[in-house]
A and B are shown apart, each in its own frame.
Chain A
């Protein structure tokens, strides 16, 4: 039996699959299907310093091989998360990533400080949310912005710090280097690509926010390319994500350079996807005589 354990920034995951932030809430709903320990980890719904109501509906639009969302970080706030959601989640036998987003660097720092005293395993810095007016992606689309926010949060964050990168940039390699230089322990990528759909009858955008974040199989090749480009530029591990929906995608993204994988949109069509992907991954490793899944990371033979 192949070993599925992976280690990212000193945190050991039982397997490389992590539920992606925003697709899994705080875990309760999916615990109806299987024990949450099925997953290596869970990246919780993005949290902010204070409760956020989120964007007006409609928030969702389907697209060819994907979907747009503009939920707008609806969440109960960091204190509620620590007091009400985390204790139950902590008992589920999986690693917990707290995904945080702020309007200002100070808000990010305050949250990082609070979470450093909590039971979470890692902090995932969301500097790539395309669906909120302030903060979010504005910190994540220039090297100076990334360096500024990551170095500020680094001073307050005593947990392993994962920086979640936006794909809406011209040179992902430069951004990855900036995050590493500023003190990131790992990178996670890619967040959604900004997209838009218009209803041709009403001439109105389908999403009330006008634009939304594109996810699903449609973005997978972009994720592979960006993980590959970033991994050649940095020494810290990368948690790859973006449209992963089959075990073959996990293998592919790890070959491109990922050390662990987040899955999200596929859960909407198949809540049991993690179970199926892990089964497929195990058989693949066993039938190819690969002793540990970690042997895949970065083993692309590029031209």
Chain B
């Protein structure tokens, strides 16, 4: 099976920044299948829809998966209240993750806010060949910096208010980078800018998107996003065609 539902015990839970939680769960065979950039649909008791959460990392040997998520509404609030020792009903691994290719290439990872976690697993595969640029609102919102450094990556941090690292947009601190491949996840304007950065230099770029989602497996067609397929614009689906897309495939909507 490509994906399945599993009841997973929460082994570790920590609030790593205000409203941002780091969960490690016992995930059995799901951990062996999970690829960088894929996601999980987590059941929230009492909610009609599961919540799509990116897989931050997976450890096949330990059979664990890690999720880092932010409280965005009722569902993620409830998720944040589930404690260590309790279990989560997880449907995973889902979607098309990052296509890593040759990990001896120089790779640039660009993350914005809660778009940072899905990059970690992929960046680890590149280790010292990865340069990582992450943007946050302020010093308090910075997450996963140590994890990327521990993976051997070169890390730059930008904050909107200058309270930590570079004062400004993350896109403004990657100008000198000369990567051979780019991976990005974060807010729309950042992704468009990263996409342009790569296109201007003729570098391949992969982008992870999000959209309101129902089934998570490609059956309901809820999580539409406009993409180019065979030269024409069509609605693809974040859950099955993505969440990772080739940047050149994405049709950016204005406004």
> Which residues of A are interface residues toward B (Cβ below 8 A)?
22-25, 28-30, 32-33, 45, 53-63, 65-67, 69, 71, 74, 206, 216-217, 265, 267-272
Binary contact readout B1-24 vs A (1 if CB under 8 angstroms, 0 otherwise)? 111110000000000000000000
- A23 near B220 with CB under 8 A, answer yes
Question: Which partner residue on chain A sits nearest B1 by CB separation?
Answer: A32
Given the contacts A57-B224, A268-B48, A269-B49, A69 and B4 also touching, CB distance less than 8 Å: no
Task: For A57, list chain B residues within 8 Å (CB).
Answer: 211-212, 223-225, 235
Q: Does residue B68 face the partner (Cβ distance < 8 Å to A)?
A: no
- How far is it, in angstroms, between the C-alpha of A29 and the C-alpha of B218 when the chains are bound? 7
Are A271 and B5 in touch, CB under 8 angstroms? yes
CB distance from B33 to the nearest CB of A (A): 12
User: Chain B: which residue is nearest A69 at the CB level?
Assistant: B222
User: B47 on the interface (CB 8 Å rule)?
Assistant: yes
| Given A24-B219, A32-B3, A71-B222, A60-B213 contact (CB < 8 Å) | yes
Known: A62-B48, A67-B214, A271-B91. A74 touches B235 (CB 8 A): yes
In the complex, chain B residues 217-242 whose Cβ is within 8 Å of any chain A Cβ: 217-226, 234-235, 240
CB distance from B211 to the nearest CB of A (A): 6
A242 to chain B, nearest CB (A): 14
- Given A60-B213, A74-B235, do A22 and B48 touch, yes or no (CB 8 Å)? no
Contact of A65 among B48, B50, B212, B222 (CB under 8 A): B48
Contacts A23-B220, A25-B221, A65-B48; A60 near B235 (Cβ below 8 A): no
Given contacts A67-B49, A74-B235, contact A29 B223 (CB under 8 A): no
Q: Is B183 at the interface (CB under 8 A from chain A)?
A: no
A25: B residues at CB distance < 8 A: 218-221
Residues of A within 8 A of B220 (CB): 22-23, 25, 69, 71, 268
Find residues 172-220 in chain B having any chain A CB closer than 8 Å to their own CB: 211-220
B residues apposed to A, CB below 8 Å: 1-5, 43, 47-50, 75, 91, 211-226, 234-235, 240, 253
- The 8 residue pairs across chains A and B that have the minimum distance between CB atoms: A25-B219, A60-B222, A29-B217, A29-B219, A60-B212, A57-B224, A58-B212, A268-B214
Q: Give the distance to chain A from B240, nearest Cβ to Cβ, in Å.
A: 8
Q: How far is the CA of A65 from the CA of B212 in the complex (A)?
A: 17
A77–B49 alpha-carbon span in the complex (Å): 28
Q: How far is the CA of A61 from the CA of B48 in the complex (A)?
A: 10
A19 to chain B, nearest CB (A): 9
Cβ contacts under 8 Å, A69 to chain B: 214, 220, 222
Question: Closest chain B residue to A207 by CB distance?
Answer: B212
Is the pair B48, A63 in contact by a Cβ cutoff of 8 Å? yes
A69 to B: closest C-beta gap in Å: 6
Chain B, Cβ-Cβ closest to A57: B224
CA distance A29 to B94 in the complex (A): 11
- A58 cross-chain contacts in B, Cβ below 8 A: 211-212
Task: Name the distance in Å between A94's Cβ and chain B's nearest Cβ.
Answer: 15
Q: A63 CA to B225 CA in the complex, in Å?
A: 22
Q: How far is the CA of A29 from the CA of B221 in the complex (A)?
A: 12
B208 to chain A minimum Cβ distance, whole angstroms, is: 16
Q: In the assembly, what is the distance between CA of A59 and CA of B214, in Å?
A: 10
CB-CB under 8 A from B253, the residues of chain A are: 56
- Residues in chain A near residue B5, CB distance under 8 A: 33, 270-272
Expressed in whole angstroms, the Cα–Cα distance for A161 and B203 within the complex equals 55
Question: B212, A74: Cβ atoms under 8 Å?
Answer: no
Q: A54-B221, A54-B224, A206-B212 are in contact. List 7 more A-B contacts (CB 8 A).
A: A22-B220, A23-B219, A23-B220, A56-B253, A59-B212, A62-B47, A74-B221
Which residues does chain B contribute within 8 Å of A66, judged by CB atoms? 48
Say yes or no: B234 contacts A32, CB within 8 Å: no
Nearest CB in chain B: distance from A291 CB, A: 33
- In whole angstroms, how far apart are the Cα atoms of A33 and B47 in the complex? 21
